[in-house]
Amino acid sequence: MLVEKYLFKQLSIPVLGAVAALTAVALLSQTLTALDVIVEHGQSAWILIKITLLALPPLLSLILPISLFVGALLALNRLQTEQEIVICFAAGMSRWRVMAPAIRLATIFALISLFLNVWAQPYTFRLMRAEYFRVRTDLAASLVREGEFVSAGSGLTVYTQSVEQNGLLKNPFIYVQRQNGATAYAARDGRIVKKDGQPALILRHGASEEFSPAGVLNYLSFDEYVFELSPFIKSEDVLRYKPSDLWLHELLAPNLKLPWEQKNRLKLLAEANSRIATPLYNLAFVMLALAGVLGGPFSRLGYGRRIAEVAAIAAVARIAGFAVEAACAGSAWLNILQYLCPLLPIWWSARVLFRQKVKRYVPMASDQGSPLPAPSAP
């Protein structure tokens, strides 16, 4: 039992290190993806961080099997090279007991991946979709671009000389074209706020000029003026969820009375089976790592060839999984292949591992410097 705990600890450290490293890379990639949307719509850094973190659960589901594979290979290769696993076999441990810590770790990761797929992903993706929808429909923020005249397409044009980090607008200018004339507003500074839940632009220390069709000019100075933006930024966009945002029961039992769900029924079924099958890759990749190191005789020269073989099998299995998931959108019975993609590497690895016979060391009397006792005469 102590030996198994030791092996589990030796496996966990490099695996967790791989998880941390790959998660950092994934977060950086996701940040760069969301950066364009955030900058284009003039959102804050907090919105960027929020969207990036909300996209993390499905990324972790992809990262965990790869981290297990890389970390397990590093740990097992070191243990085998330093003959610690050989000592375990010589002490009488079975191959299954030596493999058990790695399989136990893979089972924990598989359960975490299942939780991420079934619960965390739809929950966070719904929040992220709502946040993206709010950002894209936040026309009040997109109206303000430093040093640019921006038109809302409804007779409104907004200009500001500069935008400070605290959101203060310097020297804003507003021009409104109406059927009965036009009005221009100029102020020293301003700020976009929410008033009764609607966007508004507060102008301070400025003046307005209104031109009537009769050619009359009305001039008004003010210390503070609230310009309502809601009449100019009405949006008819509707928040729509994608298959990745739906709960598992919504994927397996869609409302076929709705045209979109009826049309995409097979795509929803493929997404549901993918979420259930994906955690199996944790077990498949650990079994491949075990087969790469323990699936052959001990070698002092390393196991580069065997590791390259199992790495190729892991890559092919995962790529095939993505391809099969896409193909399942056209045929329901192909969903069986989503489970075969991880199960076949598990079967192959088990076959490689358990066809090897463990040679245990049997102490001989000659090893202690004394001959074996002669058998007594009958």
Helix (H) or strand (E) holding 160, with range, is none
pLDDT of the residue at 21: 95
Q: How far is CA 375 from CA 364, 368, 371, in A?
A: 16, 19, 12
Residue whose structure tokens are 């950002």: 135
Q: Are strands 169-170 and 181-195 parallel, antiparallel or unpaired?
A: antiparallel
CB atoms closer than 10 angstroms to residue 283: 22
Q: What is the largest CA-CA distance in the chain?
A: 137
pLDDT of the residue at 321: 95
Q: Are 208 and 185 in contact (CB under 8 A)?
A: yes
pLDDT of the residue at 366: 47
Residues 6+ apart with CB under 8 A from 140: 192, 199, 201, 229, 233
pLDDT of the residue at 374: 45
Distance CA 32, CA 254 (A): 34
Mean pLDDT, contiguous 10-residue spans, the chain (378 residues): 89 95 90 71 74 90 95 92 87 90 96 96 91 68 75 80 78 84 88 78 89 75 86 64 90 88 92 96 96 78 83 96 93 94 96 70 49 43
Distance CA 16, CA 278 (A): 19
Measured CA angle at 93 (ends 87, 95), to 5 deg = 100
CB atoms closer than 10 angstroms to residue 218: 11
3-state secondary structure 11-49: HHHHHHHHHHHHHHHHHHHHHHHHHHHHHHCCCCHHHHH
End-to-end CA distance of the chain: 45
pLDDT of the residue at 59: 92
Q: Are strands 181-195 and 198-211 parallel, antiparallel or unpaired?
A: antiparallel
Q: Pick the closest to residue 272 from 253, 290, 289, 291 (CA basis).
A: 253
Residue whose structure tokens are 């038109």: 151
pLDDT of the residue at 37: 65
Q: How far is CA 190 from CA 174, 202, 205, 309, in A?
A: 11, 5, 9, 64
Q: Which amino acid is at 220?
A: L
Domain borders along the chain are: 2-137+240-358, 144-228
Tokens of 272: 């549901």
Q: What distance lies between CA 318 and its chain's CA centroid?
A: 16
Quickly list H helices, the chain: 2-40, 45-54, 56-81, 84-90, 95-115, 121-137, 139-142, 248-252, 259-263, 265-277, 280-294, 304-327, 335-354
Q: Helix, strand, or coil here: 361?
A: coil
Q: Are 324 and 342 in contact (CB under 8 A)?
A: no
